[in-house]
Structure formats: C-alpha cells, structure tokens
C-alpha cells in the first residue's frame, strides 16, 4: 500500500537530509564522532540522491524512482542500526533509530509511478472501465 506521493517524498527527502546534517549540533551529539558522521554522511547522501532522482524533486534525473526507494530502505536500515553497528548506542541512539525507521517507511510507502506518467493513466483507465 503506497500512499506517499512522489512530490511529497521529494520534500521529505530534502528535509531529512538537512535535519540529519544539522542533528549532531542541534541535538548535542557532535562530540560523538561515529554518531555525528553517520548522520551527516547519510544526510548528505540523501540530498545527493534526491538531486539525482528522476522525480518531481530531482535536478539531474539519472536515478530511477525504484532505485531511489531501494536506496532509501537500505540507508534507513543502516541509519537505524548504526548506533549498535558503530558502537555509540550508549551515548545516543534515538535520532538515528527514528530517522532510520522514517527513511525505511518513506522507501516502502512511496508511489513509484508519476501521477502524470502514461502508464499510470492507462492503469487508472483500465481499472475504472471494469
């Protein structure tokens, strides 16, 4: 069941990237190196990936939406698990866990086809004709 529009997903992507990059300083864990860099690097990757995705928020449009969503799930799993994988769970874990789960959800629940794509209109017409 995919209910997040591609346009809204684009907004979420850019917000998530900025939040992750700023989180270490805003939430006070910039002194925990692994926690800081895992958030900053995943945030930067989300921003770059978003710019390169063929969707409403993309600039270059070289990554397919399905590839983007798969990468969202992978990044979310890494981010959610990073406090335990990188051994900083005793200092901080909630920002990584929460943002990771949200990233996984965004990857799973976002529509893959554009509302304006030819296939989507054909699909809708077939469903309404029956």
* Residue count of the chain: 130
Prediction pTM value: 0.84
From 35, 75, 130, select the one nearest 26 (Cα to Cα).
35
Residue pair 84/50 in contact by the 8 Å Cβ criterion: no
Element (H, E) at 42: helix 33-52
Phi, psi of 110 (to 5 degrees): -95, 140
In the three-class reduction of DSSP (H, G, I as helix; E, B as strand; rest coil), residue 117 is classed as coil
Q: What is the pLDDT of residues 70-121, one digit of tens each?
A: 999 999 999 999 999 999 999 999 999 999 999 999 999 998 887 655 444 4
Here the tokens at position 36 are 């800081």
Q: What is the pLDDT of residues 43-75, one digit of tens each?
A: 999 999 999 999 898 999 999 999 999 999 999
Which residue(s) pair with 4 in the sheet? 110
From 120, 105, 99, select the one nearest 20 (Cα to Cα).
99
- The rounded Cα 93 to chain-centroid distance in angstroms is 18
């Amino acid at each position: 069941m995919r209910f997040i529009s591609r346009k809204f997903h684009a907004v979420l992507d850019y917000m998530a990237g900025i939040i992750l990059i700023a989180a270490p300083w805003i939430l006070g864990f910039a002194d925990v190196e692994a926690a800081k860099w895992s958030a900053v690097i995943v945030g930067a990757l989300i921003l770059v990936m978003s710019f390169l995705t063929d969707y409403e928020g993309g600039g270059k449009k070289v990554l397919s939406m399905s590839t983007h969503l798969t990468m969202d799930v992978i990044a979310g799993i890494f981010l959610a698990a990073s406090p335990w994988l990188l051994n900083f769970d005793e200092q901080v874990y909630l920002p990584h866990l929460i943002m990771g789960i949200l990233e996984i959800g965004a990857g799973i629940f976002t529509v893959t086809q554009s509302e304006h794509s030819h296939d989507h209109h054909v699909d809708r017409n077939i469903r309404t004709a029956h």
